[in-house]
Amino acid sequence: MTVVADVLPIDDALAQYDPVMGLEVHVELNTKSKMFCGCPTEFGAEPNTQTCPVCLGLPGALPVVNAVGVESAIKIGLALNCEIAEWCRFARKNYFYPDMPKNFQTSQYDEPIAFNGWTDVVVDGETYRIEIERAHMEEDTGKSLHVGGATGRIHGASHSLVDYNRAGIPLIEIVTKTIEVPGEKAAAVARALVSQLRDLLLSIGVSDVRMDQGSLRCDANVSLKPKGSTTLGTRTETKNVNSFRSVERAITYEITRQAAILSSGGKILQETRHWHEDTGITTSGREKSDADDYRYFPEPDLVPIAPSREWVESLRATLPEAPSLRRARLQTEWGFTDLEMRDVINGGAVEYIVRTVELGVDAAAAKKWWLGELARAANESGKDLGDLGVGPAEVAEVQKLVDEGALNDKLARQVFDGLVKGEGTPAEIMAARGLALVSDDSALIEAIDRAIAANPDVVEKVNSGKPAAAGALIGAVMKDMRGQADAAKVRELLNTKLGI
Amino acid sequence: MSDLTRKTAAELSELMASGETSSVEITQAHLDRITATDTAVHAFLHVDTDGALAQAADVDKRRAAGEKLGPLAGVPLALKDVLTQDGVPTTAGSRILEGWKPPYDSTVVKRLKAAGIVILGKTNMDEFAMGSSTENSAYGPTHNPWDLARIPGGSGGGSSAAISAYQAPLAIGTDTGGSIRQPAAFTGTVGVKPTYGGTSRYGLIALASSLDTPGPCARTTLDAALLHEVIAGHDPMDSTSIDQPVPPVVEAARRGDVNGLRIGVVKELGGEGYQPGVEARFHEAVELLTKLGAEVVEVSCPHFQYALPAYYLILPSEASSNLAKFDAMRFGLRVGDDGENDAEQVMRLTREAGFGAEVKRRIMLGTHALSSGYYDAYYGQAQKVRTLIARDFTRAYEQVDVLVSPATPTTAFAIGDRVNDPIAMYKNDLCTIPSNLAGNAAASFPVGLADEDGLPVGFHVMAPVMRDDLLYQVGAALESALADQWGGVLMSKAPELEVTR
């Protein structure tokens, strides 16, 4: 990438401009079959094995709506405090692209199934209300693979391959209204929103929400306006920002990039932009104007959807409690302070701790591992917590080993390190790295004897009525055992030896 | 055995049931007739000789084994090339699909196969069913067996020509603005457009999704009803399919009684622009129905005059989107894939080469009508007109049971006559289009020959949604009364085709 972007430092940018954001979040539903046909939706199957005449758009084939997809859409709408349409339709969004089988996407246009909602996000103890414009149903496209060009891009490719397994997988597009929060919080609020949406979708069970597999994809609209101005600036739409961290980084980048252009008298081009995870910048994509004409019209192959109020209410009754109420309840149950709870929320660890606690782990221990160890590892590797390959089951397993005395916290940290590096199960990592605690008394006693022999002065102090000095001997034993000893056991044996 | 190709489907069914002949014999007789006459007629784009004979042999075997078979088992049929049949070339009359073999059966074909009906092959049609003469086929026009210099109607001219040339006793058509009824009128045969949603569109290569309706073509009302019963009924694969029992069409066709039936003559469908011979036969038929006990009144449908312009906004709009999938990426023709052109260029070159002029015209019309800024004035307005036309029907059906009109303003015209005048071509469908816009049932039945040119005239009957049975009631009454007058069905007046061996 040769593009060297001219950016203004974020503090300077925010001193001059207020950012205005809007997010479009695409969620792949976890229905068993696709939105308009019976094909399976499993991720990672051989290319073009999960297709049929309908999702390949063969001549003559017709769509039939997946009722579970509609149910999930309504649940999402309700969870976002939306109104649910009494009557709505699908519409065709017409444009040509090789990975779109029919060259129109079956979507919704001016009649979305859910609209006018809101959700609250908390950043640094402040609550921000995000207005939801709409949540609508649509189908995913296929996936193009460009061969022969640099880094899989279409530019310079010799040919392209298309996998239609993804074509027709149900998507819900959630669109926020414009988000205007204090500039220094903007990117963090956006990140918190996406993170919270993930938690929400997980908790209502409608999606696997795997950002690494593309089941949650985020497009971020950003514009700037001079401080104090009420006139909206020209926006850019950064596509496919696919991790929480990237949401924050991409928005921050766009703010600094746009500020640099505006402050030097330039104009922002209305366009889509590509986010580059590796370099942390966005580059120009396709120029986009409001006149982009998709020639929407009501999909004549489908009949309108009119969810009965009884059905909507019965779905509402199945929804878990609202996130803010739930967080308050969890904080009480877990006995966390406000500060601790804020860290947990900001760290995106709420759902992981919930599920770890469900597996019998003490909340404080769960928090210790998720925030202390795993969040740190995620941060270091630039990943999201969910993408580390370590789940609640592994955390519970490690904690069980600690409770049983097979590991101490220090060794447990090394086990987590192994887990993150994909070295196998906790047992395998312990064996491979030789991490088990030594529980053999004779080995400990030998080490104690060596410590006593090497530290006559300390023994002298203890014998002269200063038992606290024995701590130094414990430290020496632990060091001798390379940490692989239970400190309480060492103290017990040492006390016996020294007669205290 | 007298010529099997002159028999009706119902008669063939009886002959097979009594063991006097077999499906293989019948099928072979029709295949021979196709060989002998299709050089002149060009009704077929593809004749599936081996497939048809294999299907026929299978039916014979099952019959011999004592299996209980449906009334049309073993009867041959000609299939409009717009419906998919697994493994059999399907082109919709277009170059862009040349050589494409669909990997699946349309619901209509599934039901035909399940009923033991033998599919002889695929019939010619205007490209993507856009046309009223079959002249828009990429594979050359079909000739009207009544006069080979004339068109057989369209878009389903191949199907109507096949049955009027005795190449098949039955055919399947699809009707978007009259593509079953107008060819039936022009060939002296019976053509029925069922209620929209009464027959499944699954596997029908879409022209205009909200209008397309598959239906039966035959030489007699009873044959059409028997075929109607086979292909109709709810299909979960088509969201617009109606989940209700099939109207009792066969019973109605057998009864053929119009005593006490209230019939409305649509005031707006006649007069200026209608051929005198067409009007004469139409009014005689109305009088005949009166004699048979029907109560005939004149009914006004004031919005029908806007049907044609509304239709030519809705149809191209839907078609422009439906035809977007023909892009060379997954099936059909691919032009310009030379390693230099990118996918978008290949799409352009393929569509340029693969679509005919009328298809391009309608894609452009539709693309324009759906464009932002024009949508409300065109597509939106046309949908409002559609509602008004549906209301005209609803009001009319408060007064009468069925509506009638000529099926077409004129008889079959000469090949080449209207190819350069699209508006004149479009006007062919003045009488048939309102029923497509409203989604109700309609049919054309033969009621004689026009004095000026000696060509068949079609009588158009329109019935409320899911009252397809009323069509057959009227059609059968006319058919039996006229047969008494003529001493046989109208088709028996058709000239003999010269056969080539």
Distances (CA, A) of B61 to A59, A293, B52, B57: 34, 58, 14, 6
Residue A59 with chain B: CB contacts under 8 Å: 84, 90, 92, 97, 100, 102, 205-206, 325-326, 331
Residue A57 with chain B: CB contacts under 8 Å: 325, 330
Contact B178, B429 (CB under 8 A): yes
Contact A41, A34 (CB under 8 A): yes
List, edge to edge, every strand of the sheet that includes A91-94. A104-107, A91-94, A297-298
Q: Does B87 touch chain A (CB under 8 A)?
A: no
Contact B146, B164 (CB under 8 A): yes
pLDDT for A153 equals 64
Percent of chain A with pLDDT over 90: 57
- Give A279 to chain B, closest Cα distance, Å: 29
Instruction: Name the amino acid, one letter, at A164.
Output: Y
**Subunit contact B239:A104, Cβ cutoff 8 A:** no
pLDDT for B501 equals 59
In this prediction the pTM is 0.85
- Give A134 to chain B, closest Cα distance, Å: 21
Contact B203, B457 (CB under 8 A): no
Contact B196, B436 (CB under 8 A): yes
Residue B92 with chain A: CB contacts under 8 Å: 59
Residue of B106, B204, B237 for testing the chain A interface, max A β-carbons within 10 Å: B237
Nearest to A103 among B236, B327, B339 (CB): B327
Which residues, in sequence order, are CB contacts of B300 under 8 Å at separation 6+? B266, B267, B268
- Give B496 to chain A, closest Cα distance, Å: 37
Per DSSP, what are the bridge partners of residue B460?
Answer: B405, B444
Residue that wins the pLDDT comparison between B230 and A376: B230
Strands B76-80 and B170-175: parallel
**Subunit contact B343:A98, Cβ cutoff 8 A:** yes
Q: Which of B23, B132, B133, B155 is catalytic?
A: B155
Task: State the Cα–Cα distance between residues B184 and B153, nearest whole angstrom.
Answer: 8
Domains of chain B: 20-304+386-493 (3.90.1300.10)
- Give B67 to chain A, closest Cα distance, Å: 33
Q: Two tokens at B225?
A: 């009803």
Residue A373 pLDDT grade (very low, low, confident, very high; cuts 50, 70, 90): confident
Nearest to B372 among A65, A101, A293 (CB): A293
**Subunit contact B330:A58, Cβ cutoff 8 A:** yes
pLDDT for A310 equals 97
**Subunit contact A60:B205, Cβ cutoff 8 A:** yes
pLDDT for A3 equals 44
Residue B387 with chain A: CB contacts under 8 Å: none
The residue written with tokens 């999702």 in the block is A55
Lowest mean pLDDT among A50-59, A194-203, A316-325: A316-325
Cα A371 to chain center, whole Å? 15
pLDDT for B1 equals 43
- Mean pLDDT for A334-355 is 88
Which chain A residues touch B if contact means CB-CB below 8 Å?
Answer: 53, 56-65, 92, 94, 96, 98, 101-104, 158-160, 162, 291, 293, 295-297, 300-303
Task: State the Cα–Cα distance between residues B116 and B27, nearest whole angstrom.
Answer: 12
Residue A62 with chain B: CB contacts under 8 Å: 201-202, 237-239
pLDDT for B275 equals 95
Per DSSP, what are the bridge partners of residue A174?
Answer: A25, A135
DSSP secondary structure code for residue B355 in this structure: S
Nearest to A62 among B208, B239, B375 (CB): B239
**Subunit contact B106:A60, Cβ cutoff 8 A:** yes
**Subunit contact A59:B84, Cβ cutoff 8 A:** yes
Would you tell me how many other CB atoms lie within 10 Å of the CB of residue B373? Answer: 8
Residue A92 with chain B: CB contacts under 8 Å: 321
**Subunit contact B203:A101, Cβ cutoff 8 A:** no
Task: State the Cα–Cα distance between residues A194 and A183, nearest whole angstrom.
Answer: 18
pLDDT for B295 equals 98
Backbone phi, psi, residue A220, to 5°: -115, 120
pLDDT for A152 equals 60
Of B460, B469, B470, B415, the C-alpha closest to B435 is B460
**Subunit contact B321:A92, Cβ cutoff 8 A:** yes
- Give B294 to chain A, closest Cα distance, Å: 38
Q: Is the confidence at residue A345, as pLDDT, over 50?
A: yes
Contact A179, A22 (CB under 8 A): yes
Q: Does B375 touch chain A (CB under 8 A)?
A: yes
pLDDT in tens, A203-241: 899 998 888 788 899 999 999 999 989 899 999 999 989
Q: Does B374 touch chain A (CB under 8 A)?
A: no
Rg (CA), chain A: 28
Q: Does B240 touch chain A (CB under 8 A)?
A: yes
- Give B135 to chain A, closest Cα distance, Å: 22
Residue of A nearest to B242 (CA): A303
Domains of chain A: 10-311 (no CATH), 321-433 (no CATH), 441-498 (1.10.10.410)
- Mean pLDDT for A197-207 is 90
Q: Does B84 touch chain A (CB under 8 A)?
A: yes
Q: Classify B243 as helix, strand or coil.
A: coil
Lowest mean pLDDT among A195-209, A458-472, B465-479: A458-472
pLDDT along chain B (501 residues), means of 10: 87 96 98 97 98 98 96 98 98 97 98 98 98 97 97 97 98 98 98 98 98 98 98 98 98 96 96 94 97 98 96 97 96 93 93 98 96 91 97 98 97 92 85 98 97 97 98 97 88 84 59
Q: Classify B190 as helix, strand or coil.
A: strand
**Subunit contact A62:B318, Cβ cutoff 8 A:** no
Residue B238 with chain A: CB contacts under 8 Å: 62, 64
pLDDT in tens, A257-312: 999 999 999 999 999 999 998 899 999 987 765 557 999 999 999 999 999 999 99
**Subunit contact B343:A160, Cβ cutoff 8 A:** yes
Residue of A nearest to B108 (CA): A60
Residue of B nearest to A66 (CA): B239
Mean pLDDT score across all residues of chain A: 89
Residue A151 pLDDT grade (very low, low, confident, very high; cuts 50, 70, 90): low
- Mean pLDDT for A453-482 is 82
**How many residues in total does chain A contain?**
500
**Subunit contact B203:A61, Cβ cutoff 8 A:** yes
**Subunit contact A104:B102, Cβ cutoff 8 A:** no
pLDDT for A270 equals 92
pLDDT for A443 equals 79
DSSP secondary structure code for residue B147 in this structure: B
Residue B206 with chain A: CB contacts under 8 Å: 59-60, 301
Q: Does B364 touch chain A (CB under 8 A)?
A: no
- Active site (annotated) includes residue B155: yes
3-state secondary structure B428-443: HHCCCHHHHHHCCEEE
| A437 phi-psi bin (left φ>0, alpha ψ -120 to 50, beta other) | beta
Of B307, B293, B259, B481, the C-alpha closest to B405 is B307
**Subunit contact B321:A61, Cβ cutoff 8 A:** no
Question: How many interchain CB pairs under 8 A, A with B?
Answer: 102
